[in-house]
Amino acid sequence: MEPQGDLFESFTLRQLQDHLGADFEVILTNNRGTVVSVDRNRTPARARVSRIFNFADSETIRQLGLFISGGGRLPAVVKSFIHERAPALTPRRGGGACLRTKGAVYDLGPIAAKVWRRYFSGPLKTRIMWGKHPNPRPKRARRRSIRYGTYDRDRDLVTIHPALDCARVPVEFVEYVVYHEMLHKIVPPKVSADGAVRFHTREFKALERLFEGYDMLMKWQQENIWKSLASAPVRKSG
């Protein structure tokens, strides 16, 4: 939920409660599957209403109130509001339900757990997912390189390029890329005097070489990555 949700919440609740009167008790939920349900076997009757209605206008709330008290079909204005606002409940942090970890060949879940257990300490909180296949680009603007992975510090999220979800890429290489991205969480970037930000600092590179089989994997990468990815020049992960 948005941090400012409480403000909306009390307003929405009060509005809805005013429409319904004392015969109904309104409870806000995070439910996306059932955005509104009414239990009339209680006294007062209990309406469970999704928090997406925090963002509803007065008319939608009024119609929602009529639906809750009167039953029947969901009013069109409420329906269209739900369609429009359903993504507002998508978890932004800590959720993880919508992150795709299982690929066609590799499952990033166990891979991340293994790498974390081996090289880092404490509970694994960083989330991980396969990236989306990039849309084919027009020939002129063809990509000249790909990133194996990225680390998003704000979301504490590692994203791995889907081209690595391929049987010709050894699992050790996927593990190495996961390790590399996790290192970005541990080793902060350095800002030089001229304002340039460097992510692959000396410290970062020293730690990177601690990955088991690092030299071999770098060799494999140079020799094979073209065949595996069937792509234009590749640069090291970002």
Q: Footprint of Zn ion on this chain (CB under 5 A)?
A: 237
Residue closer to Zn ion by CB (options 65, 149) is: 149
| 58-92 core/surface letters (b: 16 or more CB in 10 A; e: else) | eebbbbbbebbeeeeeebeebeebbeebeebbeee
Q: How far is the CB of 181 from Zn ion (least distance, A)?
A: 7
Residue closer to Zn ion by CB (options 56, 160) is: 160
Residue closer to Zn ion by CB (options 63, 237) is: 237
Residue closer to Zn ion by CB (options 159, 237) is: 237
Q: How far is the CB of 185 from Zn ion (least distance, A)?
A: 11
How far lies 190's CA from each of 195, 198, 225, in Å?
A: 9, 5, 29
Q: How far is the CB of 189 from Zn ion (least distance, A)?
A: 10
Q: How far is the CB of 196 from Zn ion (least distance, A)?
A: 15
Q: How far is the CB of 8 from Zn ion (least distance, A)?
A: 39
**Alpha-carbon torsion (156, 128, 148, 205), positive or negative:** positive
Count of CB atoms situated within 10 Å of the CB of 170: 15
Spatial separation of the C-alpha atoms in residues 9 and 27, rounded to whole Å: 10
Instruction: Provide DSSP, 89-107.
Output: GS--SS--TT---B-SS-B
Query: Hey, what are 23's tokens?
Result: 């015969």
Residue 77 · residue 33 · CB < 8 Å? no
Q: How far is the CB of 148 from Zn ion (least distance, A)?
A: 9
Supply φ then ψ for residue 208, to 5 degrees.
Answer: -60, -35
Residue 192 · residue 176 · CB < 8 Å? no
Residue closer to Zn ion by CB (options 23, 156) is: 156
Residue closer to Zn ion by CB (options 54, 237) is: 237
